[in-house]
A and B are shown apart, each in its own frame.
Chain A
């Protein structure tokens, strides 16, 4: 059997391609990785607090993407780059960001209230949570399918992308700087929020020991809602960057693959660990791209990502940075 499967050489290493495109792969990978990381944060926060994989998070993300694209086309953005002043564009983008974040946060909260809270009240086993999550994921996805059909939304161009400078022979574009910069900024913000604020302390307390936290006067339900809102808002923000990069991606099942990859990123970095989500996201973005060059074609991107995940988990079952939100020190 094996000889037939390897008879045609489908596995060849293209080292020279890989090396000559190493920096291109890295910078392109960082851009998508930043988006993965933002979405991964939603998984990680919820996991940290509830020990639950929120499978519907990919649909929280795509709801935000719909909001972003509707807002932008409502503001008059179309297929061609707008002829607005940069300040007006930035203003409009902020509006879209807000719309995306708000929509995603609301959807995330709805998922929590409808699908998880009744189960939590009953102390259902974790498998049951996962299955309602899958159920909610189906519901949201196919609600969009019935509403918007099987085609992607018409794309919008937010601004004329520009080459900014060259590093290691690789051209860096404005969009890359915006996405990576904004994403990292948000990640640092969330990290600080968790470490330094009252809300963050509450989240950490619930993650560490929900019962003791409740005894100490933390309102567990409120913390859980806050967590879903923060995770949702970040997914909505990620949706803006995603639409910026792939304006054709707003389709009913468009969140699914991205969600799987973001979740993979969260697990890779150590689920429940905020810095892990950032690291995992960026790494996953780069690894996929390296695979595409090294193994010769873009069909390898996802295979390589998943194989790396399995390998990492075998060596470090808790992910690269370990997996406890509660252990974060203030």
Chain B
């Protein structure tokens, strides 16, 4: 407690607490900004008050592996259902089988992750106790309750070769639900008070749609026969363009709360996602061009597998980056207080 000593010579050392400044921890606080590699700040230095620097909001209590993992797998499954239906209709059985198995596998694992993340896993059925459009999680549960069995039925019918008509029907309905499964997760994140998730609600569904498409294309490229993956290659390019474009737009529109995307771990993850997705899409596009020239077969499956792996990893990194950025934005009171102050100032004129 004390650094001072009473000796024969008198008091030695300082008496702690004597110079303590009242309110040293409270009241106005200047924000420290981390070095941002010469980037210009989106908004000028913000001054704001906080209660001992503690967050105003509570960060979501979710485990990153479960929830960010679900965002990735759900996106992969939803977009895979599109490839499955397309492959089936256009006579690409190899592509269709990979996509069906991918969708069924990804959604099954993600359901496991979702149940695992509940504080009371045994009560997961309570999700289906009501139908509640104001709760994206409730709507998502209903969506998954319809979608997951369809993907499993489609995959089972394809693998066993039985009940083909039923399998085709399941594939078709899953393809209708698939895009919703991919994009509703953006609403799931945005419909919170978490600044970096909520403020991105306009573009985040498009980011997730593009990322899901890239992931599904990646899986098909890596696993399906190269002769049948032309649609996947195109999907990879279109998905990557959508994802990266929407993400840029989102960050530009968000102002201060875009900062968590540019710092620390989320920044590294998102930079990695950008590089991997771009590289994967570029590789897929090259393979597409080479394939059309009729020399694709000689190249073998290695470039396609590399492109696929890059796209899958990129998509996963994007979801983890977005997840961690949101958590970071909830944990720093600046992202809650400063935008709200600015809003009040703008309103009062």
Say whether A and B bind each other. no
